[in-house]
Amino acid sequence: MSSNVVPLETFLGLPDHARLLGLDLGTKTIGLALSDVERQIATPLETIKRVKFGVDVAALLKIADKYQVAGLVIGLPLNMDGSEGPRVQSTRAFVRNLVPLTPLPIVFWDERMSTMAVTRTLLDADASRAKRASVVDKMAAAYILQGALDRLMRMPPDEPTED
């Protein structure tokens, strides 16, 4: 796809204290979550109401700049059997169009079950339908980002090579 769509282990080489931004791309909204500077905890941030690509990306990149984000983790909505459907194609198209507009490294993260897990959590918390609708996208983004952060923390740092 492009040089800034990278494997997750690339994020091990990011500068210390650089945040990551998680995205849950929906047809009507983009849920955003932000990591802490230690890249251990994902927190729901906000939801961008989709208008059109240029407007959506301008809002996204403004937020990334505001929080000094060093990389993007974008949920990839695979089917339960791991196959790629229309939503994956839409996500890949979004990223293909985003790549020329930012130098930020981008990682795809399997988001299967994220919205379902978040919705179940909200139901268990007895959140109203309106409350669930207003927070589910940014919470799904946090779920996606947290999965990537947890995996990053389990990756061994590169071993120094001896000369």
Higher pLDDT, 119 or 151: 151
Question: Residue 127 and residue 115: Cα distance in Å, rounded?
Answer: 15
Asked whether residue 1 is domain-assigned, the answer is no
Pairing of strands 69-76, 106-110: parallel
Question: Which residue range(s) make up the domain with 89?
Answer: 8-154
- In the predicted structure, residue 163 carries a pLDDT above the cut 50: no
**Count of structural domains within the chain:** 1
How many CA atoms does the CB half-sphere of 18 hold within 13 Å? Answer: 14
CATH number of domain containing 91: 3.30.420.140
Asked whether residue 144 is domain-assigned, the answer is yes
The answer to whether the beta carbons of residues 37 and 19 sit under 8 Å apart is yes
Rounded to two decimals, the pTM is 0.86
Q: How confident is the model at residue 1 (pLDDT cuts 50, 70, 90)?
A: very low
Tokens of 30: 């983009």
Q: Which residue has the tokens 């500077």?
A: 37
Q: What is the pLDDT of residues 93-112, one digit of tens each?
A: 999 999 999 999 999 998 87
Tokens of 109: 């993260």
Q: How confident is the model at residue 37 (pLDDT cuts 50, 70, 90)?
A: very high
Region 110-118 average pLDDT: 69
> If DSSP codes are grouped into helix, strand and coil, which group holds residue 50?
coil
Question: Residue 107 and residue 132: Cα distance in Å, rounded?
Answer: 27
Q: How confident is the model at residue 82 (pLDDT cuts 50, 70, 90)?
A: confident
- In the predicted structure, residue 119 carries a pLDDT above the cut 70: no
Which percentage of the chain shows pLDDT scores above 70?
80
Q: Which of 13-17, 52-56, 131-135 has the lowest mean pLDDT?
A: 131-135
Asked whether residue 159 is domain-assigned, the answer is no
Considering only CA atoms, which of 138, 80, 76 is closest in space to residue 107?
76
